[in-house]
Every structure is written in structure tokens, then in C-alpha cells.
Amino acid sequence: MTRRLRPSRLAAAAALVLSAGAAGLGLYVRREMGASRAELARIAAGSPHARDGAFANLEPASRDAGVVLRMVANMLRGTPAVSAPPEWIPLSPLVVPPCPSALAATWLGHACVLLEVDGRRVLTDPVWSRCASPVPFAGPKRLHPVVAPLDALPPCEVVLLSHDHYDHLDRRTVLALARTTDAVFVAPLGVGAHLRSWGVPAERVVERDHDGVAEVAGLTLTCLPARHFSGRGLRPDTTQWAAWKVAGGEHTVYVGGDSGPSRVHAATGAAHGPFDLTVLPIGAYDEGWAGLHLDPEQAVAAHRALRGRLMLPMHWATFNLGFHPWDEPAERARKAAAADDVTLLLPRPGERVDATGPGPFPAEPWWPAPR
């Protein structure tokens, strides 16, 4: 004879399951956040660019609370802010030579680029997760699948990180790369603490503050100022954010990470340029964070200030984090580049561009025509 549970017992069992699920999710989110506040404060205390445990921009830039609330709403809905492509964004198959060239770039989506610099490979800001958030089922979702599985990538000497926001630093991707490759992780000050807290061996983590230099695998990596912010929890600016100069024996690349308009671009161009290639963000702009994200015209101006030869736009078409149509950044960047005589590279995700020669380079629209 089957015994039925009383309603009160059913309710108690359901509450127990929900409580366990909430506790498990809480632990998961806590792991995603990374290093403890105490550890981050200890690291920040040793930097001249931090005060009371928080890093700051050289030029103040405010964050509009309304914009932040709209972003949170979009994350909870898991829907794009303005528009999404009518279907999957077209991808190119990943085809890379067995030996890295003198200068090439393969855009893998958002801020992730596979760079080849004088015979070495550098992977920037890799994110292979479906959502750019601390939970696996909510947040900004991909507008296209990953170009290829992580294990299909060629060996990389360096994984280069710009800051700790979820669309640039992904725990699961980092752990997979730490497990399956011999790459060294190079990051701004404090970001390495996240990696160590996740189990990445300390000897494979290199951190630098602004103007710090690291020599890794025959490349010189210089940590450079950017105008942005950081944080994986409720407290912002607990780790440093940065752009990077990647220099081999013959070629140099500027990796912009995430940045707003700033005089640091001209200062960097004067001190470290010219650059053979600049990799600059063109998406997720809004008046509410005008000092923290470049719009396409500002990105082209930053490229000119950096004294760049070729410009590869990124930070668009993968995670729609802004409040503009998903393909607007590319259209505006094309017009700005044409008006300012800038050579733009606009490959499909997965398309490799050899940047050593005179071209031609991919710059024709592969996205929908302007509305």
C-alpha cells in the first residue's frame, strides 16, 4: 500500500529542495566572483593607483545609475537591449597555420582575438560561455555560437586579460585553458587573484600595474592605462583595468580591452607607438556611460591618436550589451574610418586576417544592410 505524503510534508520537502537549490546557486555565484574582498584590498593597498581598496581612472568618469538598472533588467530577461540579428551571425571556419606568422589576427567574437605576433600566439579576453554573467542561465546571451571548441585552438603562449568583467573574464574558459594548455595568464593587478582563487597555478599568472612590463615567451607586454572600471560583485573597482602593448621583435599590437574616450590614447601613441595593429572596442555605448565606453567614431579617433596602421574593431556582434542596434557599431565605424582615412579590418567571427601585407583587407559589410 502506497503512503501519500501530507500536504504539509510536501510543502516542507519542496521548501527544502528550493533552499538547497538557492544555497547551491549562491555558492556557484560566489565562486564566479573570484577572490575575496580582503585579498583584493590587500593587493590594491600596494598600488599607487588605488585608494581605500578601489582603483580609479586618471580622468574621472561616472556611471549613470539608470543605465546600470537597465543593464540589470536586460541581464535578468536575457534579451538584447534593442535588437538582435534575425538569425545566427555568419561565422567563418577557423583556419590557422601550424606556425604563427609575423602579424595576423583572428577575431573570435566580442573582445576575444587570437593574435600572431612575430611567431608567438596571444589569446585576448577569451569567453566561451553562453552567457556573460555570474550565472549560467541568465544574462547577455551570445548572438552566435563559439567559432570553434577551445580544444580546436592552436597552442598559445599567452592568455592576455584586460579586466575582470564577465564579458572579458570567464571562469570556465580560464579553467579549461589552464587545464589543457601551457599558456601563461597575463593580467592587470588584482585580476590574477581571481585566477589563483579558481585554482590556476600561481607560477602561471603574471600581474602588472599600469606601466608595468612583463617578458613572456619572447614577447614584451606593457600594461597601459585605460578609462573604464572593474568589479565582479557589488563593490566596483576592486581590481585594475588596462590596455596592453604586445611587442615582438618586429611588430607591435595595441589591445584596447574596454575603454572610454581618453587623453591616454594620445599619450600612449606618443610613448609607445606607432602600432602595426590596434584592437579597439566599438560597441556598448550610451550617454549614461559616455566616459567608459568608446563609440565607433571615438574608437577611430583613438586609433589615430595611438598612431595605428590597421584597426580591428571588436566588442560588438557577440554580446549585445548596449542600447543600440546590434550592427550599428560596424556601420558607424566604416563611415568614420572612410572619413578619416583609417584602414579598417571587419572580418566575420573566425576569419583570420594576415596583417603583414598591403591588403586588401576584409572591410565589406557581411551583416544586414542599414535600416
- Please check whether residue 184 is in contact with residue 217, taking contact to mean a CB–CB distance below 8 angstroms: yes
Mean pLDDT of 37-51: 96
pTM reported for the whole predicted model: 0.91
Residue from 143, 129, 127 nearest 81 by CA: 143
Cα–Cα distance for residue pair 212/161, rounded to 1 Å: 14
| Centroid of chain to Cα 177 | 16
Q: What distance in Å separates the CA atoms of residue 282 and residue 314, rounded to the nearest whole number?
A: 6
Tell which wins on pLDDT, 75 or 162. 162
pLDDT surpassing 60 at residue 90: yes
Question: Side chain identity at 13, as an amino acid letter?
Answer: A
**pLDDT tens digits along 324-370:** 889 999 999 999 999 999 999 999 999 999 999 888 899 999 987 54
pLDDT score, position 73: 60
Alpha-helical regions (H) of the chain: 7-33, 37-44, 65-77, 171-180, 191-198, 264-272, 296-305, 328-339
Residues 175, 181, 182, 188, Cα dihedral to 10°? -40
